[in-house]
Structure 1
């Protein structure tokens, strides 16, 4: 009973701060994406590729979440965007309070698009609303077909799934048909882009869609 109450309190407090973040993003017309994946899925590489396709077209900020280092932030900073690092020091996810603190250094009003690169984990990040517009999951064919059914929440909460490393498809036993069948059970409305962080395949289609989403939000204001 104590554990349930504690969990409820933590998520309740997070929800209040997520609403505060969302209000800021709405009033500024900033599109905010919560980018999630397991470690090694290629999330940072896909983010780099995405930035290459849209930097110069939009004002972009990035909030980088990681346990201890700023290695990913250094990589992203080389793409010519503003980056704020959050080190969770062991916590397996970002929460709305961490993001709210980061906004002191990365004001949403200065940007049209903000990426929040969450900590690599298929479980914890899915439980914490950050105030984002929607969630994007980077999922690699190298992770196998069992992950969707083993970790359904993160896929159920995603608006977009970037199926990465498709250049390795011939070297794995990953089944696109099985992936589509499982996703249809969990989240039939999810938008899927087949991409490769290594070759850049499919990234243009993803970034063109993303630019349209930014435009839609901007036009509401």
Structure 2
């Protein structure tokens, strides 16, 4: 009985999160805000990639903002602010992921009528965030060349549940022992033939293709 109760509670939690996520999406769309949930492990380069994308958007007259999710601290939040990007810091305390309830409260701290696009940087993790959609138009998972070529085989669910997958830090390819073709094959297999995007947040390589993938015309 104990196991049945635990499963029931977990199902209720996930269902309630999905409902709140749908509310968040309707809220954002009612203000004309498009949104992207950016997931990935610690060190994959999510923060810099979001920063560079947001800066490029600003150059073209778009108005981006970021919800900076982390267990604790303000490091990423401070980096976004230093780049001139409106941001809200969202700490989870002990949880390994953001959830729709936290995002709902964070949205209250933004003037949604003053932004066009919202990045939500999820907590660095390739497991938990997959089960908790936040209410965004798209979900993107970022891995880096420094993490090895078995990441997709080890954690397939987050790739299945994401609309876009990115292999970041390709400027480091000459210095790491990694089989990129294997990553491409693994992603194509779990995502029905989809392509793994390649980027370098440092050099901006691949950003044009990534913008097209999220339907942003710069």
Moved over 6 A (4+): none
2:33 aligns with: 30
Cα displacement (A) at 1:209 = 4.8
**CA drift at 1:159:** 1.6
TM-score, normalised to structure 2, is 0.91
Equivalent residue in structure 2 for 1:122, among 100, 109, 126: 126
Worse-matched range after superposition: 61-70 or 155-164? 155-164
**CA deviation vs aligned residue, 1:7-39 (integer Å, no higher than 9, x gap):** 111111111211111111222221100001001
* 2:15 corresponds to: 12
* Structure 2 counterpart of 1:146: 150
Name the counterpart of 1:74. Answer: 78
Range with greater deviation from structure 2 (168-177 or 59-68): 168-177
Report the 3-state secondary structure (helix = DSSP H, G, I; strand = E; otherwise coil) of the residue aligned with 2:196: strand
Secondary structure of residue in 2 paired with 1:40: coil
Counterpart Cα distance in 2 of 1:209 and 1:58: 17
Tell me, in whole angstroms, the C-alpha distance in 2 between the residues paired with 1:192 and 1:185: 11
Of 42, 49, 54, 1:51 maps to 54
TM-score (norm 1): 0.90
Offset, 1:146: 1.2
1:167 counterpart residue number: 171
Question: In terms of mean alpha carbon deviation, does 183-192 or 27-36 score higher?
Answer: 183-192
Kindly indicate whether the alpha-carbon contact (under 8 Å) linking 2:197 and 2:206 is maintained by their aligned counterparts in 1: yes
Q: Which stretches in structure 1 are left out of the alignment for 5+ residues? A: 216-221
Q: Does 1:184 align with 2:202?
A: no
Query: Where in structure 2 are there 5+ consecutive unaligned residues?
Result: none
Contact kept? 1:148, 1:182, Cα under 8 Å: yes
Paired residues in the alignment total: 213
User: C-alpha separation between the residues in 1 aligned to 2:52 and 2:108?
Assistant: 27
